[in-house]
Amino acid sequence: MTSTTWRFASIAAFALLIAPATAAGGSGIDLTLHGGVDKYDAVSLKSGLSKTDFTDEQQLRDASQSYGATAVGRLGLLSAGALVEFGRLGKPNTTTAIGALAGLNLVMGRLQLDALAELGGHRYGDALHNPDVVQDSNRSDWLAYVGLRPGIAVHLGEGGNILLGVWAFARWDLMRKDVAVTLASGGGEGAYELGGTQFGGALRLGISF
């Protein structure tokens, strides 16, 4: 699904670039829920730790599901709003993103294109997890991030109030953090570096006022 989402997002970005000057953005508020698949590259092992001790899931490197909500106000071609997103539900190393959105939108009939930037905070809960290697600390770490969120959607229903579409998104942590851990065997010390990237895509459904 991710490759298809990126294809739609590329079309949306291209359409925004070539849209004629007479095209107008829509005015209103979009409230939507989304769910999809993402992939992280945000954990780097350092002292006292070996890749062979951790599966991809325990290193936050597996593809996982995420769910969230967005509220975006549109005034002409300009857009602004907020999002909250929860990832890896049911797993020890959960994630949360809370951010502000700003960018452009273009409404052409029932078709809506969005090109948004994100700025917010990224929470990692027990980013590196294997109780046989690292003592369970139940820790969480917040890192600031920036991101991009292009999307394409259609307005359905008699009044066009139902919004159905897809998001693509990419996030980059603005900092990296060395996290010290206590090893389960022998009580020694180890460390890993937290911070990196996240990419994904999601289906989007909601209402537009």
Domains of the chain: 2-208 (2.40.160.20)
- pLDDT tens, position by position, for the chain (209 residues)? 555 545 555 544 444 444 443 344 568 999 999 999 999 999 999 888 888 889 999 999 999 999 999 999 999 999 999 999 999 999 989 999 999 999 999 999 999 999 999 999 999 998 998 888 888 667 889 999 999 999 999 999 988 899 999 999 999 999 999 998 888 877 788 899 999 999 999 999 999 98
- What is the secondary structure of 11-59 as a DSSP string? HHHHHHHH--TT-----EEEEEEEEEEEEEEEEEE-TT--GGGS-TTTT
Residue 39, CA distances (Å) to 61, 63, 161, 162, 184 in order? 7, 5, 32, 29, 28
